[in-house]
Structures are given as structure tokens and as C-alpha cells.
Structure 1
Amino acid sequence: MFKNAFLLLITGFAASHAAAQSPKQLPAIEQKMVERGLVDVQKVDPNIRVELKYSTTDNFIGRDVYGELTRAYLQPEMAKRLAKANALLDKKKPGYQLLVYDAARPNSAQYDLWNALDQLKIPARSKTQYVADPKIGSNHNFGCAIDLTVVDENGKPLDMGTKFDFFGPLAYPRSEQEMLKKGKLTARQIENRQLLRSVMTQVGFKVNTTEWWHFDGMSKAQARAKYGMIP
């Protein structure tokens, strides 16, 4: 009797231990990312912060677009570059960290963002200025683009002059000096943007001229040829 009870105890412990050790099942959308070879950026560098805006209602659509996708995924080479940029940032400003707002994006979500522009009454000729045509794809759809900002040692995002996904010249890097002269941006806000750009460009990311938060790891043609689109 005692022997049987002991065996049951051991068996139960082994089962619970195995369950505790087994990896947590990923949501289907993230599992598809992993199967395509993309990596969770926080597994490459746990010091990178993540707050996917399209997994919240804090975005230009005002609703959750991504659902179960809450982790930031990128192609491995992009994730490694991002980790290098985060290290450079900490060297320049100890305690500062990168905060990711968007990374790899399924093309199905690209259609949601594209169609939402119609609701905002964005003219058809201007739509591609804010969201890539899903038939062609965004670099996000290949896992080769990243949207992000910088947080200080207290975890507070730096003042960049606009929110993420702001539509208009105030968000354009190419218009910063004009906005400064007009008093619509401050020197400090531009310095904060330049800090972000400096660490990102040093590791090979390219600046987007109309979005201070967006950086591309390679051209769209290169990304399409090398990786293909995330459906």
C-alpha cells in the first residue's frame, strides 16, 4: 500500500515537473512566425522593451489589429542588429532602452491598416504615404522593418514631438528643420529623434523620411527575394 502510494507520488511529481519544463504553446500566429525562421527580439536581447501598438487600441485605427500577436518578431539578422543598436544606446545614455512599437506584420493585418485609411478619408493618392499597399507589401510584411522609440532610465518614452503613427509633416524627419523654424518642434525633440537615428543607422538600418519611428533593414525588393511575405 505504502509502495503504491509512493509510486503515485513520484509519478505525479514527474508529470508536474515535465509540464513545468515544457515550453508554453505559442499562439498560432506567432508559431507561424517561428516556423518561417523569425525570432522573438526579446530572446535575442531581453533588455529591448516591446509594446506592440497594433495589439492595443492605442493606434490610428483605435482597435486591436494583431490579436494574439503580442511579441515582436524579426528576421534573425535584423534582431541581431537591433540588439547592437540597444547596446550602443546604453553606451551613449546609460539606462536608456529601445521600445519596439511594431515589427514583423502578417500581410493580412496590412489589409486592415490599408482599409482603415478609407475610414479616415485619406485620399487614395496619399494612402501609400502612410501605409504600404498590401498587394505589394511593407517591409514589415517580410520581417525587415521596425517601428520604435527610446525610453529613459525610468522607462518613460522620450518626447519625439508626435505620437507613433502621427500623419503629417510634424512626423517627417525630412521636415524637422522647417518645423523647428516654425516653432512646431523643439530642439530637444529633434535631438531625441537624432539619438534614435544615430544608433539605428550605425547598425545598418535606413531612415524613413516621413516617419521618425520607422527603420528598414534592407530594400523591399531584397527582403521579398530573400525572405518572402508573411501571409
Structure 2
Amino acid sequence: MFILLAPFLGYAQSVRNLPEVEKDMIAKGLTDVQKADPTIRVELKYATDDNFMKKKVYQELQRAYLQKETVQKLVAAHQFLKEKHPGYRFLIYDAARPNSVQYHLWNRLDEMGIAKEDKTKYVADPKIGSNHNFGCAVDLTVVDDHGKPLDMGTPFDFFGPLAYPRAEQEMLKKGKLTQKQVDNREILRSAMKKAGFIVNTTEWWHFDSMSKAQARARYGMIR
């Protein structure tokens, strides 16, 4: 009997030791990405001050969580990447995001002087929610075999057309993006699209596993 209970007791102990925000995500059925694929790298930008807010907003969250079916797609995309580009790996910048953090991001735009009517160009209205708030979106890049992120032409969370996939050809013609930078973005996009992710037209790093309407219908918002 003890042998049968030991793994469960070990798992229960590990869950008890997690921060409350992670316990809440697990309770809602979300999955730790690195439990599904340990070769995916994680560096949550909002757990550092290396983000557009210039401050740490994830006080406890350090690991990337997503809905189970989103994780399955991500693992498949990572496999596609590794098959075509051995040595390359995904690096996750953001995954499931509590809606309370969405409010922090939204309010930060006011501090940055962004006009009210333009705010949704940068951050989803927290009253409606982003797919991050349902655990159905992931922000990521690709790193090489030395762990260095590929040059995508802009950093993560860059605001403006230079980050827009839909504007890449225009930026290329104007000399603001190089062909290599566009090719690097396509390495990421092709793997994600092959696994069924939806490309965001204004953020090269953002991918949705389903529409917001589908996410809302299937899952509750992460508070």
C-alpha cells in the first residue's frame, strides 16, 4: 500500500510547496509546459524588470503554464522546430497570465502616455481579457544551440510596425528589417502554424492556440 501511495504523496507535497498562483493554475487544469517538454526553455519577462513596464509584475510566478490542449500543440510545434533545425529550441517569454496582471499592463499604458483609444493596439482590455488570461496564448522566440535568441528585428514587447508580421514586407523594402530577421521570424512561425497556432498580425512573438471566443467558451478566466 505504501508503494502505491508514495508517488501520490510526493506529488501532493510538491504541489503544497508551490506559490499560490501556481496552485490556482493547476487547480484550473493548466499544465506546466516544462513538465510536458523539459527541452523548452522559459524566461518569463514579467517575472523580471526586462519588459515594457520596467518592473517585475509576476511576484511569484516563474514557470510557464497553459491549457492542456495548448501545451500539446506547443510540444508538437517544438518537435517540428527541432526536426527542421536541430539545436534550436523555443524560449517562452509569457504564457498563462492572471487577469490581475492584465490590469497592471493596461494601466501602465496610461503612465506611458498612450491615448485611451489606442490602448488596445498594445494590450487587450482586461475587462474582455487576452487569450493569455485563458491560458490559450504563448509569447516566445527561438534560441540557437548556444542558447542565444535569434535576431527577430525587435525585442519582445516592442510597440510599433517593426514588430508587425503584417508589415514585414514593407519594413523590408524600407530597409528597417533585414531578410535574415524576417527569415528568423518565419522559422518560429512555420513551426507554430504547422501545429495549429494562429499568428498574431502585430506581434511576431505572440501565438494563439484558438480564437478568444473559443477560449472563453471552454475555460474560465485566470484571475
TM-score tier, shorter chain, comes to over 0.9
Secondary structure at the counterpart of residue 155 of structure 2 = coil
* Pick aligned residue for 1:141 from 133, 142, 145: 133
Structure-1-length-normalised TM-score: 0.90
* Pick aligned residue for 1:46 from 38, 47, 63: 38
Secondary structure at the counterpart of residue 93 of structure 2 = strand
* Pick aligned residue for 1:101 from 85, 93, 96: 93
Partner Cα distance (1:158, 1:125) in 2:
33
Partner residue, 1:64? 56
Report the residue type matching 2:171 in the other structure.
Answer: M
Structure-2-length-normalised TM-score: 0.94
Partner residue, 2:74? 82
Partner Cα distance (1:52, 1:168) in 2:
22
Displacement of 1:228: 1.3
Report the residue type matching 1:23 in the other structure.
Answer: S
* Pick aligned residue for 2:221 from 218, 224, 229: 229
Partner residue, 1:200? 192
What is the alpha-carbon root mean square deviation over aligned residues?
A: 1.4
**Which structure 1 residue ranges, 4+ long, deviate > 3 Å from structure 2?**
none
Displacement of 1:22: 4.2
Partner Cα distance (2:150, 2:86) in 1:
14
Please give the residue correspondences for 1:131-170 in structure 2 after superposition, counting only pairs within 5 Å.
131-170=123-162
Report the residue type matching 2:14 in the other structure.
Answer: P
1:189 matched to 2:177? The reply is no
Identical pairs, percent: 67
Partner residue, 2:5? none
Partner residue, 2:14? 23
Secondary structure at the counterpart of residue 26 of structure 1 = coil
Cα deviations by residue, 1:177-231 (Å, 9 ceiling, x for unpaired): 0000110000000000001000000011000000000001111111011011001
* Pick aligned residue for 2:103 from 111, 129, 145: 111
Structure having the higher Rg: 1
Aligned pairs, number: 214
List alignment gaps of at least 5 residues for structure 1.
1-17
Displacement of 1:124: 1.0
Secondary structure at the counterpart of residue 205 of structure 2 = strand
Displacement of 1:23: 2.1
Partner residue, 2:28? 36
Partner Cα distance (2:159, 2:115) in 1:
13
List alignment gaps of at least 5 residues for structure 2.
1-8
Please give the residue correspondences for 1:214-225 in structure 2 after superposition, counting only pairs within 5 Å.
214-225=206-217
Partner residue, 1:9? none
